[in-house]
Amino acid sequence: MDKIRYRQAQELIGKAGKSKGTKEVFKKPQEGIIDTKLFGEILNEMMDLEDCLLDSRPTHYLKKDEAQEFCEQIISIRKQLDSILGDFGVLEKADAEGDIKTLSDKYLILTTKSNFKKVLTKFTVDPQKIVVAGVPLEIDDMKRLNPYLPDVALKSIEKRISHVKNDITRKKEQFNLENVLVIVENDESGEILAERARELYNAQTITLESLKDITPEEFLKLLSGL
């Protein structure tokens, strides 16, 4: 019975991927590993859609704003399903890194550590458009992080802050960038940097639990949501 069902699934996939006058889009499934985290997200989003079905009874008619919200959720689920199918070779995997390069190109990116820059560069973000702050953007913020720093150390940090701000201004002018994006981990230094960058540069923020553990596909999803 399982073999029959498997053959039926193969036939359905093949038929679904064909249209008159075009080559096959879907391929036969290959071995792979189920992305259980992503699959769980799909199930959760499907459950959220049930509210739409219940609220729209008995006609299931949706007004324009309701239709937009409904379709956005369907599109999100579709992209996630495509990613899972890509893991099994049924669909070509999306070029996440190519899309990251395109979407990130309009931002000057501000982060807190050099190893974060390495991860972003690996994702094809232009390294010339990344500024590693290493320090907060105001001396008062440094005092918040470490209220016991001696005056000598604070003077040295003030110079570093000035250098970072000059670097931001120079790169914005050099690459004609109006948008600043702060990418940090969810810790106090990242929170303080993001808070001040929003005040000074009207920056947008992506906050992560662990930047080194994120995949290009996950980062692309966050970047696309800005």
User: So what's the pLDDT on residue 200?
Assistant: 96
User: So what's the pLDDT on residue 50?
Assistant: 86
Q: What is the arrangement of strands in the sheet containing 179-185, beginning at the earlier edge strand? A: 130-132, 107-111, 179-185, 204-208
Domain ranges of the chain: 1-30, 33-93, 97-224
User: So what's the pLDDT on residue 77?
Assistant: 87
User: So what's the pLDDT on residue 24?
Assistant: 41
User: So what's the pLDDT on residue 25?
Assistant: 66
User: So what's the pLDDT on residue 210?
Assistant: 87
Average pLDDT per block of 10 residues along the chain, 226 residues long = 48 46 67 90 88 89 89 85 87 78 95 93 94 94 92 92 96 96 94 96 94 86 88
**pTM exceeding 0.85:** no
